[in-house]
Amino acid sequence: MARQRTRASRQLDDDPIAHTIASVARRQRCEVSGAIVSIEAFDRPTVVLDVTVDDGTGTLLCTFSGRREIPGFAVGRRVSVAGRLVRYRDRQCLLNPAYELEDDGCASCATSS
């Protein structure tokens, strides 16, 4: 049984990684960089933060559950996100993706407080 789990996890690790939003398919891993174009926080029915990222090939919804804000996130700020595209609440998104803010020198996009 352990051998099957190892083989299955190896198959997941061998999945191709999409590097543009236009090329990512559902259940595929992706690592993309782009500009934040919208940020919306919702308190009901659960606390979530929806962040939309645009890399020039399309837009990608990133949903962070349990968060109302993320320090440094601002419209116009560049960010790199990584995760697997899933369907959550009837929308395709990256659910709680790993992220890294990019330092692009945008003075108006400095870290939020």
Identity of the residue numbered 109: C
Give the predicted TM-score (pTM) of the model: 0.79
Q: Is the per-residue pLDDT at 52 higher than 70?
A: yes
Cβ-based neighbours of 13, under 8 Å, separated by 6 or more? none
Would you say residue 111 has pLDDT above 70? no
CATH superfamily of 17-109: Nucleic acid-binding proteins (2.40.50.140)
Helix (H) / strand (E) element for 49: namely strand 48-54
- Establish how many alpha carbons lie within 13 A of residue 86's alpha carbon, considering only the half-sphere containing its beta carbon: 12
Burial state string for 40-51 with b = 16 or more CB within 10 A and e = fewer than 16: eeeeeeeebbeb
Domain boundaries, the chain: 17-109
* 32, 24 Cβ separation under 8 angstroms: yes
pLDDT of residue 42: 93
